[in-house]
Amino acid sequence: MLEIKVRHMEERDNEDLFEIYSFPAVTENTSQLPFLSSNKVASLFLYPNCYTLVAEHEGKVLGHVTLFLSDKVRDKHCGLIALAVHPKAHRKGIGRTLLLEAINQADNWVNLVRLELEVQADNLPAIALYESVGFQLEGVKRMSTFKAGRYTDLHLMARLRPDL
């Protein structure tokens, strides 16, 4: 496992985040198209109700987790999670570390009850990671997304705060 520092995302991180999203192995597992511009990547983190943490190793950002908070009055207890890790840093504990810190923030600081995410049904390593930190499958959106020339399913997963 790499020694990483988790911190809030800063504007200076955009170049490293652009590099992460430049890999088809990353974008194929998101709702984005391959070959995003640096402006498009930066815009992904400009939502007023999002909270992004990054994992930094030796001055380089190797991943992020973003909590998208709802501005709907009756959904303020819910948050949506987005996660991406540099392909060269896969399976080194970065995704787990980021997810655990996002859960800590959600449970202990933002007062969220429900965390949600969507994951490609064929992304088995990601599904295993999400399950290992308490997410459960709630549903399947069949033929929901178009990937590599074919329609694929998305899994809807959620984690409810265990103390409620």
Q: What is the CATH number of the domain that holds 110?
A: 3.40.630.30
Q: Give residue-wise pLDDT tens across range 109-150.
A: 999 999 999 999 999 999 999 999 999 999 999 999 999 899
User: Is 151 contained in some domain?
Assistant: no
In this prediction, residue 74 has a pLDDT band, given cuts at 50, 70 and 90, of very high
User: Is 70 contained in some domain?
Assistant: yes
Q: Give residue-wise pLDDT tens across range 88-108.
A: 999 999 999 999 999 999 999
Please give the residue range of the domain that contains residue 61: 5-115
From CA 144, how far away is CA 153, in angstroms rounded? 5
Counting the structural domains of the chain, the total is 1
Q: Give residue-wise pLDDT tens across range 38-69.
A: 999 998 888 889 999 999 999 999 999 999 99
Q: How many CB atoms lie within 10 A of CB 155?
A: 21
User: Is 21 contained in some domain?
Assistant: yes
> Which tokens hold the place of 65?
């987790």
pTM: 0.93
Q: Burial-class residue 119 by CB neighbours within 10 Å (0-12, 13-18, 19+).
A: buried
From CA 115, how far away is CA 113, in angstroms rounded? 7
From CA 158, how far away is CA 78, in angstroms rounded? 10
User: Is 93 contained in some domain?
Assistant: yes
